[in-house]
Amino acid sequence: MEQVLIALLVFVAVVFGVGVYAAVKAKRALEQRFAQRAPIARRRAEDLALRARTLTRPGTPGRVAQLRLDLRTSLDSTRRVLEAGASTDPQLTEALQLCERLEKQAVELDGELRMLEQEPSTGRERLKTKLPELADRAERIGHAADSLRWAAQDRARHTSEDELTELSREVEMEAGALRHWAPSPVEGNAPRREATAKKRDELKD
């Protein structure tokens, strides 16, 4: 009886331990998933807020919001193109590193633009004074990011065209080989057998 009771207690302890382990593991998985998705959700919310401000806040504040939005859009598009191409083209790895350096510059500039955007009405003159310089920096960063993206796209297009040209050449060679075939032994011996039979008939006559 005591052995049965001990076995039952051990079984309950094992089940409880497995349940606790599964619960802890599930909690960690949920926390990791939330940690991964939270920045994406926050970024989307910020982008939507910027789009709204470009439409609802005319003048300099709207211009600042548009600069921030354009800068984010340009860098995000460039990163997506480079990451997609780097998996098959190692040459794009260096371009991706340059994109990361541009992103650091963009983060610093975005912080400055955000602070200016939050200036009270009494600081509007300062905003107007600083805006041309910040707009120039934003344009330079955006142009650099666009150049990387366009170069990567041109490279991918050129590679595809080269592959298509080579594939077309191979197809033409194979098609030409298929159109020229040697007669089979049976086909080659048929005329010879006919000639032999004809001579035999002539001798009989």
* Distance, first Cα to last Cα, the chain: 116
Mean pLDDT is highest, among 27-36, 137-146, 164-173, for 137-146
- Higher-confidence residue: 11 or 189? 11
Percent of the chain clearing pLDDT 70 (strictly above): 62
pLDDT of residue 92: 87
Distance of CA 170 to the CA centre of its chain: 31
pLDDT of residue 105: 93
Q: How confident is the model at residue 141 (pLDDT cuts 50, 70, 90)?
A: very high
Query: How many other C-beta atoms can be found within 10 angstroms of the C-beta atom of residue 81?
Result: 21
Burial (0-12, 13-18, 19+ Cβ within 10 Å), 193: exposed
Of 141, 133, 131, the closest CA to residue 61 belongs to 131
Rg (CA), the chain: 37
Q: What is the mean pLDDT of residues 21-27?
A: 61
pLDDT at 23 exceeding the cut of 70: no
Residues for the chain: how many in total? 205
Q: Is the dihedral of CA 149, 151, 152, 158 positive or negative?
A: positive
